[in-house]
Amino acid sequence: MVQIGIVGASGYSGAELLRLLSMRADVSISRVVAGASAGKRVDEVYPAFSRLSDHSFEAFDPEQLEGLDVVFVALPSGEGMRVVPQLMDRVDRIIDLGGDFRLADVGLYEKFYGHKHVATELLGKAVYGLSELNKVQIASACLVANPGCYPTSALLPLLPVLKAGIVSTRGIVINSLSGISGAGRSASVEMSFAEVNENIRAYKVGNHQHIPEIQSVLEQATGEKIGLSFVPHLVPLTRGIYTTIHAELATSCSAEDILSVYSDFYADAPFVRLRQGIPQIKDVTYSNFCDIGFAVEPRTNQLIVMSTIDNLVKGAAGQAIQNMNIMLGLPEETGLLGKELQHV
């Protein structure tokens, strides 16, 4: 039985971890930590867990997590780097769902996240947890930095065609639309129903914290400088991300050639589905799948690629569990196929 702890269990990603892990017979959720909700039962904060969980949230105490097989840290960026160092010598494996260990360059982190990094000694030890790219490294990792939701939706469609030289490394345009759960559970006027309903707006244009993550992963994977722009948009959905990418074709190739590149790249990737048509969010909701579709536009010599994910599953908790499975030597699909489509 795998002994699990979740730090930050009362947030949306933490609750999604609870939902998915509660369905597994091979996992025991030993500790659920949530400072602001300490002392409350899980089903008091999330009534959907009534009769599904008898846990109560507790305050963070690293000694209480000692000896666990896996601890998920589902805290906002800036908080994880204060918690993870206290766990490194106490637990076998840590998966951080925040952004504190995704960037090896501390200067980029401090520029885009807006605060000082206080655990720089761990940046070189963290493995970037894009399962389809770094499976071998993840398998032996002690600390995994779970990718951001937007980067997941952009990297999975871009990596195969960039590595194959099909598209230019310059002038890549990424537009992503996200449901409001990506902003977290904290209340704010901008996320209120009256502001979000029947409305769409871009935000953090040119300075979103996921820009250096997308760029650095692509540059490391291809060995080339990548020129891209990324514009996120908030749409009136609870969950889901829809990403559309425009990239100039660097070589003459048919749609069949491009499909072959994608098929070969993701031959052993159980959660990437290639669509002949246009993907849509409702086909991936509550699942760990990333659906990818594309079109060749000869008029502009562009490849247009579309991807969809559930930002709380493949963009957060589901990918974290996929990484846990790899770290434990289990099939990646364990606990992530079938039942997870049922909303508790």
Q: Is 168 helix (H, G, I), strand (E, B) or coil?
A: coil
- Closest by CA position to 151, among listed 263, 323, 316, 333: 316
CA gyration radius, the chain: 20
- Both tokens assigned to 312: 């709380």
Beta strands 302-309 and 241-248 are antiparallel
Biggest CA-to-CA distance, the chain? 62
CB 152 within 8 A of CB 130: yes
**Cα distance between residue 307 and residue 74, in whole Å:** 24
CB 90 within 8 A of CB 66: yes
Helices (H) and strands (E) in the chain — how many of each? Answer: 10, 13
**Cα distance between residue 218 and residue 222, in whole Å:** 6
Catalytic, out of 142, 149, 253, 290: 149
**Cα distance between residue 205 and residue 86, in whole Å:** 35
Residue environment code for 194-204, b if the CB has 16+ CB neighbours within 10 A, otherwise e: eebeeeeeeee
Name the DSSP letter for residue 302.
E
Q: Is 116 helix (H, G, I), strand (E, B) or coil?
A: coil
Beta strands 93-96 and 70-73 are parallel
Q: What angle do CA 342, 272, 244 make, to 5 degrees?
A: 100
Residue 149 among the catalytic residues: yes
Count CA atoms closer than 13 A to 115's CA, side-chain side.
Answer: 11
Kindly list the catalytic residues: 149
